[in-house]
Amino acid sequence: MKKILYTLLLLFAINAFSQNTYIQYTAKIHDETGLYGDQDFLRQTLDNALASTMSFGLIINKEGAKFYNEEYNSPTLMGDEEMIRLSLLLFAQYSGDVYTLDKSVYEQHLQGNKSVYTKAPVLNNWVISKETKVINGRLCQKATTDYVVKNKLGVFNHPVTAWYCTVLNYSYGPIGYGNLPGLITELTVRNVTYNLAKIEESTAKDFDIKFLSTSKIQSQKDFDREIGD
């Protein structure tokens, strides 16, 4: 009887283990002619980002998905957390952990020792192209949309290009982008490109969603208004 119980528990554990998927992305920052040419601090920050290597993780479980920064290796910043956060925000479009849960995207914004999360619907205005290409041996299809930036200088639309693979049946991707009929294997937003590095379709990595009950959550509009005040 004990052996049967042990076997059942083992099978349950294996099944629970196999329900989670781990995906790793790398990110590459691109230069732009004339960008920050007359702003020494921002230009130096960009140069630091160009010389750095970055990796990110995406965990998928029954609740949804969590995207997070794993490593930021810089030959110049030497572990300076404040400058690393600034670099990720400015050039990788990453402000903190990003959760996709029940058709909503929650994006973390660090304010000192506290976290504020903005909540927005998952993206649903993709334009699916007939264009395809092979990435890491998998046939991928192109989708495009716009990333809208609103600030005191005006409203700016930046193109977003995603390549997704229908064979990989996960409707997620980097920095909250997803809601496509397959995993995003390559994503370009402004000056950053995220590339799929590896997939573990059975992993012990997991996440919880306690932040939903312990953190401040507001709309992007309200967050932008508070920051602007």
Give the amino acid at 86: L
- Mean pLDDT in order along the chain per 10 residues (229 residues): 46 57 96 77 84 94 97 82 86 94 94 87 95 97 88 78 97 98 96 96 94 89 72
> Per the structure block, which two tokens stand in for 218?
């507001």
pLDDT at 97: 96
Distance CA 183, CA 165 (A): 5
How is the chain split into domains, by residue range?
2-228
Single pTM value for the model: 0.86
Q: What is the pLDDT of residue 143?
A: 98
Tokens in use for 121? 């619907």
Structural contact between residues 93 and 190, judged by C-beta atoms closer than 8 angstroms:
yes
Distance, in Å, from the CA atom of 57 to the CA atom of 65, rounded to the nearest integer, reads 10
Q: What is the pLDDT of residue 171?
A: 96
